[in-house]
Amino acid sequence: MTIRRAGQVVGPVMLGLMLLLSACGNNAESNTNSNNQAANEGKNAAGTAGSAEGTVSAAAAPVKLTWWHSMSGAGEKAINQIVSDFNASQSAIRVEAVYQGKYDESLNKLKASIGSDSGPDLIQVYEIGSKFMIDSGLITPVQQFIDADGYDVSDLEPNILRYYTIDDKLNAMPFNTSNPILYYNKDAFKAAGLDPEKPPRTFEEFAEAAAKLGKDGKAGASIAIYGWFMEQLFANQNAEYVNNGNGREAAATESLLASEAGVKTLEWWKKMVDEGVAANLGRDTDDTDSAFAAGQIAMTLNSTASLRNMVEAAGDKFEVGTGFLPKPGDAKDGGVIVGGASLYIMNNKPEEQQQAAWEFIKYVASPEVQANWSVNTGYFPINKAAYDEQVLKDNMAKYPQFQTAVDQLHASGASAATSGAVMGVFPEARQIVEGAIEAALNGQQTPEAALKDAAAQITDKIGQYNATVK
């Protein structure tokens, strides 16, 4: 059996799925709710042989999957197209995509569904929810399906896979992926006597450029108070955010927020604000985006997923340039951490549904689907072969600034720092970090004091979380 999309073969649906559909017809044990991941790891993802009656039942009705996601706007439209194309391509599986609100809302709804049949078969969870998903015992790691299927992960971006790989096990399939880059106004660079083809690469160069770009009492740059940026600026210095190998060698027990990397970053940021060369526009990235599009500031940081919007908002007013995320001039080689979300298969569903979810995941990860997903949303394709698809080639030609994001991803070294921190209280930690940045920029605390207080709060929360997991 073959999945087809738009008249082209894009990937096989393994014969084992059809065998599984016939095998698992009415397996009462598989339908029991279980949060014990270890018990499910022993199950054969390919299923077992069953009755002829089950075969007839499976042939008559497709496996139905519910996919919870958190994409709105263009993202939701793109997801609906993926689902529609997949459902039209074969008859064994029917996927229904259901928007569940923002990432936090969706995760809270998942927690509320525990112990019932109301939860999804497949869920999109943001990257900082990874530790919770692993510790929850609610998932079947995709590694089980990869191993059983002999699926070749070498086609996927290694620097994206690293984030979701813990103890040599890929727990979820990356889906929407981004990283932060520098955006700058090339016309303003020219007017300020700066080379528009050489964006600043270091903290020092960024501050110097911001000073030259400022005019008439206006700041030359602005960085939104966003915890994700602090995490990235740590990784770009090859500095770990929490202990125990960024929580990857063992469960993190301590925040390293107030380390040299953190203090150096926040002191640089505050100095620019104090000198008036960088504006403090608050936590909402939309505010810095609007200021950039209006020409009120000439440099900012933002996600690669915002690139098309940033370029189109600038329109004919000025040319948008992009550069790597800056780092201190004396920093060790580091890189960026992927942001975004991944897809988890829930383990409280029958094996036939889990297997069907894996088949859908393989479809989503295929080059053609990933190319279209990237074009429609601005996220990275996770499949390297997607760059060979004409639709993505055309998009890269239209938005050449995106090459910066691709180059930065590939230039990032492999380390615990660039793989990303793992902790069960990451959503709360990010809010605490933003409060610390705010306190420092507003002059309520010194950068070091603000970071020490925040680190102590995060460490305490990590301890509470670890105690509950035990």
Whether the CA torsion 336, 342, 348, 351 is positive or negative: it is negative
Statement to judge: residues 171 and 225 lie in one domain: no
Statement to judge: residues 306 and 226 lie in one domain: yes
Distances (CA, A) of 302 to 183, 324, 384: 7, 11, 23
| Nearest Cα to Cα of residue 39 among 466, 343, 356, 351 | 351
Statement to judge: residues 134 and 190 lie in one domain: no
Rounded Cα distance between 441 and 244, Å, is 30
Statement to judge: residues 66 and 164 lie in one domain: yes
Statement to judge: residues 39 and 146 lie in one domain: yes
* Average pLDDT of the residues in 386-390: 98
Cβ pair 127, 339 in contact under 8 A = yes
Statement to judge: residues 134 and 14 lie in one domain: yes
Residue with tokens 């919770």: 132
pLDDT in tens, 12-66: 333 333 333 333 333 332 333 333 333 333 333 333 333 333 333 445 589 999 9
pLDDT in tens, 203-228: 999 999 999 999 888 899 999 999 99
Bridge-based pairing state of the strands 299-303 and 180-185: antiparallel
76 inside domain: yes
408 inside domain: no
Distances (CA, A) of 93 to 65, 66, 358, 372: 7, 11, 11, 22
**Residue 88 domain boundaries:** 2-178+339-398
Which pLDDT does position 327 carry in this prediction? 96
Statement to judge: residues 46 and 120 lie in one domain: yes
What's CA 169's distance to the chain center, in Å? 18
87 CB-contact burial (10 Å; exposed 0-12 / middle 13-18 / buried 19+): middle
Which pLDDT does position 25 carry in this prediction? 33
Statement to judge: residues 44 and 116 lie in one domain: yes
User: At 134, which CATH number?
Assistant: 3.40.190.10
201 inside domain: yes
Statement to judge: residues 43 and 109 lie in one domain: yes
193 inside domain: yes
Element (H, E) at 462: helix 447-469
350 inside domain: yes
pLDDT range class, residue 175, cuts 50, 70, 90: very high
407 inside domain: no
Which pLDDT does position 40 carry in this prediction? 34
Statement to judge: residues 377 and 236 lie in one domain: no
Statement to judge: residues 221 and 169 lie in one domain: no
409 inside domain: no
Statement to judge: residues 325 and 436 lie in one domain: yes
* Average pLDDT of the residues in 109-131: 92
Cβ pair 424, 131 in contact under 8 A = yes
Q: Which residues contact 285 (CB under 8 A, 6 or more apart)?
A: 224, 226, 302, 306
Residue 269 or residue 23, greater confidence: 269
Mean pLDDT across the chain, nearest whole number? 88
Count structural domains, the chain.
2
206 inside domain: yes
For the chain, percent of residues with pLDDT exceeding 70 = 87
